Structure 1
Amino acid sequence: MARTAAGTAKTPQDQAREAVVEAALGVLGLEAKTRLLAGQDAWSLPALPEIGLRSLVMSDGPIGVRGALWTAEDPAVALPSPTALAAGWDPELARRAGALLAQEARRKGVHVLLAPTVNLHRSPLAGRHFEAYSEDPYLTGRIGTGYVRGVQSGGVGTTVKHFVANDAETDRFTVDNIVGERALRELYLAPFEAIVADARPWGVMTAYNRVNGTRMSEHGRLVNQVLRGEWGFDGVNVSDWTAARSTVAAVEGGLDIAMPGPVTVFGEALARAVREGEVEEATVDEAVRRVLRLAARVGVLEGAEPVVTEPPEQIDGEALSREIARRSFVLVRNENEVLPLPRTGTVALIGAAAREARALGGGSSTVYPARIVSPLDGLTAALPEGSLSYAVGADPDTELAVAERDFTLRAVCRDVAGKVIGTGAAPTGQIWWEDADLPEGVTRRGLHTVELTGTFTPRASGPHTFGVKGVGAFTLVVDGTTHYDGVHPSGAEDDPFEAIFAAPVPHTRAELTEGRTVEVSLTHVVARPEGAPARAVGFALAHREPQRDPEELIAEAVAAARDADTAVVVVATTERVESEGFDRKNLRLPGRQDDLVRAVAAANPRTVVVVNSGSPVELPWRDRVAAVLLSWFPGQEGGAALADVLTGAHEPGGRLPTTWGPLQDAPVTQVVPSGGELAYSEGVFIGYRAWEQAGRTPAYPFGHGLGYTDWAYESIEAEGTTVTVRVRNCGRRAGREVVQLYLAPAEADAGRPARWLAGFAGVEAAPGESVEAVVELAPRAFEIWDERAGAWTRVKGAYEVAAGRSLADRRLTTTLTV
């Protein structure tokens, strides 16, 4: 039986697909081959009927499948954030999430999911922190492996991203990340290597950034030598969108697909480079071979049997989203067992985020679910009638948001003469149109203006703020009055997605009356290079309701808390705090939310705080409240899952996948380049490794998380590298424990972390029952990258193996020698 470079056996089905791929490749001419390596539009590759190749469609993930249309008209299941999935510490749960997303992809005609993101939590300031799993490469690799296996079990390809060291957003298109080879191998490449070995992904996506001087879309050493050569990866390498900048350097550096199209560095530019002798046609053939292999695997190449011939059984998306959410919630504090809530008693629910839930992070991972269950919705359904009250307390949104609630809008497209050439739905005030999204009858070349027009019915009287998000010329009209007619300049020339990620700009405050419907209109002049059609059309109408006095709102919340048996305060970040496209400036909660929590806690000793953020925030009041529950971005069913956990129908199952602590104590924070470079000078010391090296104590350590029962660690044994830990549920209810194993060299070594996660296992037990967790420690746990030898080296000697509930709560130890 044939084998890949990594030693994985090729099945007869693999060999049959390869034969079809080779036959198809032999038919294609140069122009067809190079056209196949360039997107035909934003999300797909061209069909080649001469070889029976249908168009291959890609879509953003990782918490849902957006599809080719980025609109609320095409809803998608929205799962909890990747940080939440990692907090479950359960690769099988990740596999089930992936299987659901494959089901969603097939429903939407998508063949390849642009996920998962397996970059690391190097700095808590990284704006896209919520979209990656963990600060630990081993945990990241395990969760990512489960996710990829799940997606591909449904016959849908994955692209593990962003290869590599795309760990922050500042200057992401140009930054040169200077990373030592040892840190690169032991930390940043490690999750990719594990997933390639254990899940055989069908694709990777290379990042925007440079690594040690070379753009990742051109990085032949890391792509051709390491990814393909050392690891035996046989899938495709697709660029991040607009990341490919050089025809010759990209194809010779191992890039297979340059997205988006139709104008890219491949296509005709690549054919010309071959004809002029700058690129060998054999190099192009290798890239085409990999693309055809992907097409064969997903079933769009005639004559090739897809890897999955029958879709798996249907999965209930709402039920799985709810399960993942409650299993991801991390209870980091629970004084006097204030949770779960008593069966009787009253609850004051407080916080704007309790009513308008933030289910997911901002940026390209955004999807539009058919419904979102807020905490208010969930608790209203779960608690006895009359036992729940609600107060806003404080609003985390200090900026305008995309117009959505209480707006009825449509899009009207006109040519340069002002003639209507098409209309389209606008379920929200956000327009982002690629080629496939344009309304019927509208072409790029003919489009001159897009008008968002419709009505708005205020829910409150007072000054309503309206504004614009985007770049270019705009005219804003509210209730018959033109409030703005001008141009928004570009703030970031290198960022093609500025219209999505930039902050809305306020332009007027209009006095409106509750219930009186008014007409609104925002017209955008579509800019495009002279003589060429426009690329994407992106802009938004933004709005903010009248703002009440913050002190008055907090006073109302305090009164509600004082009158209730328990106060539940939901605090949150916003899209202007956590999103793709920019990094964070601090870890503080926005608005007056910290003041709100302090005031409520002073009024009611039974105050529970639910933290609705995708990544760490500072909790300066954490010792003043009875309980703190981290809910991440919990997906569309988050409110229902929260009710499950607060009422005790289910226990919170999560453990921290990253360390939480104040910014002033965090050992690694730098995300802003200097002179175009960002030095990873900390080497292998990030996350908990760095906290321990610096001798600092975080607010909550890596791996921490409480349930609703107690566990006793009874014994630990090591036979070779197999470790068995016996634990007993010594509480009053059934529960799940995550047994964590940390490895430490018996002799301290300044060049190595004090200890590192080497394995984990989840176990379940009834009250009084004891169970065993059996963990096989991977050989890599005992190895380091020897920079002089350019190879992995096994470090022999004695190691302490500690089993416990977190990095800081280690219960039992044993010693093994390698």
Structure 2
Amino acid sequence: MTAAALPPSPPLSSPSLSKVSPSPWHTGDRSFLDADVDALLAQLTRTEKITMLAGADWWHTVPVPRLNIPGVKMSDGPNGARGASFAEQTAGIALPCETALAATFNTDLVHAAGSLLAREAKDRGAVALLAPTINIQRSPLGGRSFESFTEDPILSGILATAYINGLQENGVSAVLKHYVANDIEHERTAVSSEVSERALREVYLRPFQIAVADSNPLAIMSSYNRVNGEHVSESKELLDGVLRKQWGWDGLVMSDWFGTYSVDTAIKAGQDLEVGILRKWHPAPADITPQMPGTAKWRTPYLVEHLLAARKISERDIDACVRNVLVWAQRTARMSPETVYGDDIEVTNDRPEDRVFLRELGAKSNVLLKNENKALPLTNVKRVAVIGPRALDKTCFGGGSAQLNCSYVVTVLEGIKQVAPEGVSVEYSLGTSSHKMLPYLDGIVRDDGVAGADMRLYTTLAPGAPVVHHYRREASHVLLNDGVPDSLQGKNWFAVMSGTWTAPITGAYEFSLAVCGRAKLYVDGQLVVDNWDVLQTPGETFFGHGTSEEFGRLDVVAGKEYSIRAEFSNIPGVMKDAPDVGQICNFGLRIGGFPVVDKDAAIEAAVALAKDVDAVVVAVGLSPDWESESYDRASLVLPQRTNELVARVAAANPRTVVAVQSGSAVSMPWVDDVAAVVQAWYGGNASGLALADVLFGNVNPSARLPITFPVREEDIAAHGNFRSANGKVLYSEDLAVGYKWFLERKLTPLFPFGHGLSYSTFGYSGVEVSRTDETTVEYSVAVTNTGDVAGSHSVQVYLSSPVSNLAHPVRHLAGIATTGILAPGTSERVVVKVTRRELAHWDDLLHSWSIENGKWKVFVSDDALSAEQLVHKFDVRGRHEWSGL
């Protein structure tokens, strides 16, 4: 795809700067770049070393100006570099979510995505990105499934390697996460993943092992959870034994934020860096000694010195951790000295070539799941209806730490209007709402005329009180978990979020407030929502520390401007059954708003429109309220009356196309009734344009499902053993995760792993086999475009183990290869190499990798379940055992 071939995108914005100040994290002297780390370590005082065991703040390591040691700046996250602040986010690029990246089945595209993220990280002044996430999607109901690539460990490792190489070849350290078996959000800091030794090695550790072997990530983040009873951050077996001794990896281990639970145990286990600091948000009770803002939670000088005196740890233990911090800092500084030694200025660069790439990447991640009677592409149409709750939604990512301030977003409706050929009329109807919480208040603008809200901090709400700090927010919400100005630290403070809002309708409008603290909402001076004086209800907001929404309604007039004023305080509210929930580090305010919808009338209007047009695109799916860090989904069902809407519209128009935007699988009870289904994921900034390119045939879809879509929850391997029960979750399915479960139980999924249609057809021929040794076989396959539309195709190679006394999956993925764009009738050879890594299983008696002797079968297939073409059989003989990479 070239820029010239694309319909117009949204206007480019000019580069912008924020936090324009000299960096406090370094000196001008660059001698550290060539310094001997061990010599530096010998010069550090004990106090300096102790301070280096934890972060200086939320995003920097501790600098030591005396020795010219700079601090390293990090940034979230997997789908975009947010920068150093939740409250004052620099606008940037949002890539398609990781599941969408995986759907491309294209390592070159994923490598390019990593390269783009490296530029974005450096635009935020960071040289380390907290990414990629390679936890296994054990269940699509996991709250952070959208952050991970796939249910398959081999594919996850292959894609992680491409992503990490893209980052690190462009000067940014990857921070591979979350190590390991961090697959649910329920009780995530307490839950123990009870998993067999073999499944731990073959399923959950394997993607980390592949990434370490093939890309050498410079840092790895330990997970919140326990594995078999022991927190990973305290596991000497997993951190020192597996990572360092068996795999020979020499990078930095950092905690997840507040994912440290001890001093001596974690240090001795090999957790080098504690991240997440303890700040003083309220006046301390008289019986508690106040902590200085910006100090570690666990690795304070007092505690570490106390444990040194008690010989619970030694200075050698501290030196080992500090040395890894120094080595990592030096490696990142050498990769990107201009960023490390530059001013800490966060820049928004809106590059035309990045917009072209994001659109291409999004389109190539869209999976065509069904296409009856060539309903797609949308040709020979004059009127197209766009119906559904996702059509106008500007959300392009899941919730939690993956969220960021997008420099631009193209909605589904905007994208379809832009891409539709001249003369095609595009009309819209809501059909049904699908939000879990009221969406952010759309149509609100700040004092400077930019969309969003102003938030001003005060020591009191008395008239005439001076403003302590002014946040300019991009939307009607704020999360203050990275701190407030020093003058407010440890004090009760107040804030006002305000803006001018233009009503989009005439009629009843519903408003809401969710808080971590307490708040009241006024519209034109009228109190509409009170979440201050009420008995607050615990909710899922603000990483599980906030309240549920409180609601209020007001009749409004379309086009009229209204003043919005939310008064907010960090003083904890009185919350049901959670008296201490306010005493934490997250403080936030969220204003929601949405028209009061007559649900029956909305569906009837959508059906009436569907009857009068040539084709319908129903835009449905989920949002960050449904898929997010800190909680899991309850079911596969689409929200509210979405399924009813799709069924009614499909009955009214036979050319009904359903576009699903979600980070993982949803159920589709209407799948047999619609003409076509596109899984569009969370597609990033250009999501609407990318989807429209597929719908109208500008791009021939080539993506594949990196996860299995089940028909119902009961078909998921983890069903019945998914939530934490008394602090444990039993991985009872063992090796049979995802498609392996469906093969083992002979279940029929909604759509299998690896499934994906095209507007063309492809055939395989001329398989060539080259065996270099007993455990290495290379397959070259000719792929021919047998259809009449140019397109790309991904080849999947699966293995079946010899019959053995040991249980093995029926089949497992060995590798993938993707062609370029093939014109009709043309062919391209692709190569997949099978090595001992793909053949190995973990022997839990010998505690080593081993390969079964006997006859192996090799399949080339279009998905995991069909295994349609047996291409080769080969024998393995002899003893093959090893414990490392």
Please give the TM-score of this superposition, normalised by the length of structure 1. Answer: 0.92
- In the other structure, the counterpart of 2:297 is 264
1-structure distance, mates of 2:394, 2:804: 47
Question: Match for 1:430 among 471, 477, 487?
Answer: 477
1-structure distance, mates of 2:427, 2:564: 35
**Is the alpha carbon distance of 1:454 and 1:320 closer, same or farther for their aligned partners in structure 2, counting shifts above 3 Å?**
same
Question: Match for 1:452 among 482, 487, 497?
Answer: 497
Question: Match for 2:731 among 676, 680, 698?
Answer: 680
**Is the alpha carbon distance of 1:318 and 1:302 closer, same or farther for their aligned partners in structure 2, counting shifts above 3 Å?**
closer
- In the other structure, the counterpart of 1:420 is 466
**Is the alpha carbon distance of 1:301 and 1:717 closer, same or farther for their aligned partners in structure 2, counting shifts above 3 Å?**
closer
**Is the alpha carbon distance of 1:705 and 1:293 closer, same or farther for their aligned partners in structure 2, counting shifts above 3 Å?**
same
Question: Are 2:212 and 1:196 aligned?
Answer: yes
2-structure distance, mates of 1:70, 1:589: 29
Tell me whether 509-518 or 366-375 shows the greater mean CA deviation.
509-518
SS state of the match for residue 66, structure 2? helix
- In the other structure, the counterpart of 1:646 is 695
> What letter matches 1:756 in structure 2?
H
Alignment of 1:133-148 (within 5 A): 133-148=149-164
Question: Are 2:170 and 1:120 aligned?
Answer: no
SS state of the match for residue 728, structure 1? strand
Tell me by how many angstroms 1:298 deviates: 1.3
- In the other structure, the counterpart of 1:387 is 425
Question: Match for 1:665 among 704, 715, 725?
Answer: 715
Question: Are 2:443 and 1:402 aligned?
Answer: no
Identity over aligned pairs, percent = 34
- In the other structure, the counterpart of 1:243 is 259
Is residue 52–residue 302 contact of structure 1 (8 Å, CA) maintained in 2?
Answer: no
Tell me whether 318-327 or 633-642 shows the greater mean CA deviation.
318-327
Question: Match for 1:508 among 535, 548, 552?
Answer: 552
Question: Match for 1:234 among 250, 262, 271?
Answer: 250
> What letter matches 1:429 in structure 2?
S
2-structure distance, mates of 1:302, 1:722: 38
1-structure distance, mates of 2:381, 2:352: 35
2-structure distance, mates of 1:289, 1:304: 23
Question: Are 2:780 and 1:724 aligned?
Answer: yes
2-structure distance, mates of 1:53, 1:17: 9
Question: Match for 1:64 among 66, 80, 85?
Answer: 80
> What letter matches 2:568 in structure 1?
H
- In the other structure, the counterpart of 1:519 is 563
2-structure distance, mates of 1:320, 1:711: 26
Is residue 438–residue 592 contact of structure 2 (8 Å, CA) maintained in 1?
Answer: yes
- In the other structure, the counterpart of 2:5 is none
Is residue 70–residue 340 contact of structure 2 (8 Å, CA) maintained in 1?
Answer: no
1-structure distance, mates of 2:523, 2:377: 48
Question: Are 2:283 and 1:283 aligned?
Answer: no
2-structure distance, mates of 1:789, 1:750: 14
**Is the alpha carbon distance of 1:630 and 1:518 closer, same or farther for their aligned partners in structure 2, counting shifts above 3 Å?**
same
Tell me by how many angstroms 1:684 deviates: 0.7
**Is the alpha carbon distance of 1:152 and 1:23 closer, same or farther for their aligned partners in structure 2, counting shifts above 3 Å?**
same
- In the other structure, the counterpart of 2:509 is 464
2-structure distance, mates of 1:450, 1:629: 44
2-structure distance, mates of 1:165, 1:508: 42
Question: Match for 1:368 among 402, 405, 412?
Answer: 405
2-structure distance, mates of 1:249, 1:68: 30
- In the other structure, the counterpart of 1:810 is 867
SS state of the match for residue 841, structure 2? strand
SS state of the match for residue 724, structure 1? strand
Tell me by how many angstroms 1:471 deviates: 2.8
Is residue 412–residue 420 contact of structure 1 (8 Å, CA) maintained in 2?
Answer: no
Tell me by how many angstroms 1:202 deviates: 0.6
1-structure distance, mates of 2:174, 2:339: 18
Tell me by how many angstroms 1:112 deviates: 1.0
Alignment of 1:468-617 (within 5 A): 468-482=513-527, 483-484=529-530, 485-486=532-533, 489=536, 491=538, 497-499=543-545, 504-527=548-571, 536=585, 538-617=587-666
SS state of the match for residue 331, structure 2? helix
Deviations 1:543-565 (A, max 9, x none): 23222222211222122222111
1-structure distance, mates of 2:781, 2:668: 34
Structure 2 residue ranges without an equivalent (≥5): 1-31, 278-294, 342-350, 447-452, 574-581, 772-776, 877-885
Alignment of 1:57-96 (within 5 A): 57-71=73-87, 74-96=90-112
Tell me whether 294-303 or 405-414 shows the greater mean CA deviation.
294-303
Deviations 1:577-606 (A, max 9, x none): 111111111000002111111111111111
2-structure distance, mates of 1:264, 1:304: 32
Tell me whether 366-375 or 659-668 shows the greater mean CA deviation.
659-668
Question: Match for 1:212 among 202, 225, 228?
Answer: 228
Is residue 802–residue 852 contact of structure 2 (8 Å, CA) maintained in 1?
Answer: no
SS state of the match for residue 33, structure 1? helix
Tell me by how many angstroms 1:700 deviates: 0.6
Tell me whether 82-91 or 295-304 shows the greater mean CA deviation.
295-304
> What letter matches 1:363 in structure 2?
G
SS state of the match for residue 512, structure 2? strand
SS state of the match for residue 223, structure 1? helix
> What letter matches 2:591 in structure 1?
A
1-structure distance, mates of 2:78, 2:117: 9
Tell me by how many angstroms 1:496 deviates: 7.9
Name the Cα RMSD after superposition.
2.7
Tell me whether 788-797 or 271-280 shows the greater mean CA deviation.
271-280
SS state of the match for residue 188, structure 2? coil
SS state of the match for residue 689, structure 1? helix
**Is the alpha carbon distance of 1:17 and 1:74 closer, same or farther for their aligned partners in structure 2, counting shifts above 3 Å?**
closer
Question: Are 2:326 and 1:292 aligned?
Answer: yes
2-structure distance, mates of 1:489, 1:448: 19
**Is the alpha carbon distance of 1:534 and 1:72 closer, same or farther for their aligned partners in structure 2, counting shifts above 3 Å?**
same
Deviations 1:365-404 (A, max 9, x none): 0011111001111111112245211111122114323335
Is residue 100–residue 315 contact of structure 1 (8 Å, CA) maintained in 2?
Answer: no
Please give the TM-score of this superposition, normalised by the length of structure 2. Answer: 0.85
Is residue 458–residue 516 contact of structure 1 (8 Å, CA) maintained in 2?
Answer: yes
- In the other structure, the counterpart of 1:756 is 812
Structure 1 residue ranges without an equivalent (≥5): 1-15, 308-313
SS state of the match for residue 42, structure 1? coil
Question: Match for 1:713 among 764, 786, 804?
Answer: 764
Question: Match for 1:38 among 39, 54, 57?
Answer: 54
- In the other structure, the counterpart of 1:781 is 838
2-structure distance, mates of 1:797, 1:265: 53
Question: Are 2:404 and 1:348 aligned?
Answer: no
**Is the alpha carbon distance of 1:496 and 1:640 closer, same or farther for their aligned partners in structure 2, counting shifts above 3 Å?**
closer
- In the other structure, the counterpart of 1:11 is none
**Is the alpha carbon distance of 1:31 and 1:275 closer, same or farther for their aligned partners in structure 2, counting shifts above 3 Å?**
farther
**Residues matched between the structures, number:** 793
> What letter matches 2:740 in structure 1?
R
Tell me whether 519-528 or 323-332 shows the greater mean CA deviation.
519-528
Is residue 713–residue 812 contact of structure 1 (8 Å, CA) maintained in 2?
Answer: no
Tell me by how many angstroms 1:780 deviates: 1.6
- In the other structure, the counterpart of 2:685 is 636
- In the other structure, the counterpart of 1:792 is 849
> What letter matches 1:266 in structure 2?
R
2-structure distance, mates of 1:389, 1:343: 16
> What letter matches 2:770 in structure 1?
E
2-structure distance, mates of 1:73, 1:158: 21
2-structure distance, mates of 1:541, 1:551: 29
- In the other structure, the counterpart of 2:186 is 170
